[in-house]
Structure 1
């Protein structure tokens, strides 16, 4: 797992670029580290703890996936054929669709956190990382960037191991609090994001995978918030 950390977090750990794609099965384990600081903030319950927790999250994981979400949204909202959509996604300028997507994801997370238990952010991150693993498992790479590099390292064995880790990690929480199964709304949102990406772009690149991660996390928190509020 150590080799994954430089690519999926901002933790000061050195990793081997080639070895990282052989450790993709460990993506669910990364959630334990990426959610640790924001969960600690929520546990301490300081003033504006929900805002501080989201800041702590992005301090840990960086803004790369959030930037990918913005580019992805710009590409999705452009009218035209796939070539035009891919061109819009790769444009260095962020359009209004990208700004809207980023703001909505941030707001969903900030406003959901006070309504959910303290461990909800861990479950949301666990689903986010697992959704990224599922996106890589499509093996439908777009372009020749980092997304293709990791997809080429994916295998059925890695997917099976990653799925097993995902299930083992969430089972104790679901057993103790059955309502936490509502995080599956986030996973469904992530799967739908993969579907939309394939339909609009014909494949997935790093921006698409970043969008999958962000939308899955926000969807998981939203799903738990709705259930915990009895809606």
Structure 2
């Protein structure tokens, strides 16, 4: 079967990653999806069919990344990479002076080191029309109390993205802030609280698709920058 495009999405089993995978498959694309929870990823594979290639594993594990790289190479040219996999850190979120340093190191491995490791094998596989999206957060810019671990990791990811964009101007490389969403990770940040007022991930996907379609200069963007369809045509 011929696909319109091929995308690699980390953290593809739930939340925003799964919502994006659904949208890309619906548009005739093929998605290589990875996530730690094999059962959830298998559920996504059953839902999306042969257009979704499931590669379960922990993105911080070099052996898993090697398997993932082999799958991507075998699939042929890569059009889109979305580094969506992320860790919140401990829940409830601790203040920095109480932050367990082993947890902080684990957080940085997931949110900074792993995305770069994926980019190191995937970027050479992207064609001239390829697009890279690293999922960011406003916590990387705003000094929210108790968000220092997660926020600092996203600030570092933003800078990593900016430098890569400067080093590779021939490829579209973006940091994308989707805003608050009704996801399991966001719920973990507010244990016991009602987050039903947050938008579903599916409602944010169109903004990312508009970013990819428009291909503006390499930079950091937020979903709100592409909320109005007429404004980005």
What is the TM-score normalised by the length of structure 1?
0.29
Greater relative CO, 1 or 2 (CA 8 Å, sep 6+): 1
What is the TM-score normalised by the length of structure 2?
0.29
Whichever structure has more strand as a proportion of its residues is: 2
Whichever structure has more helix as a proportion of its residues is: 1
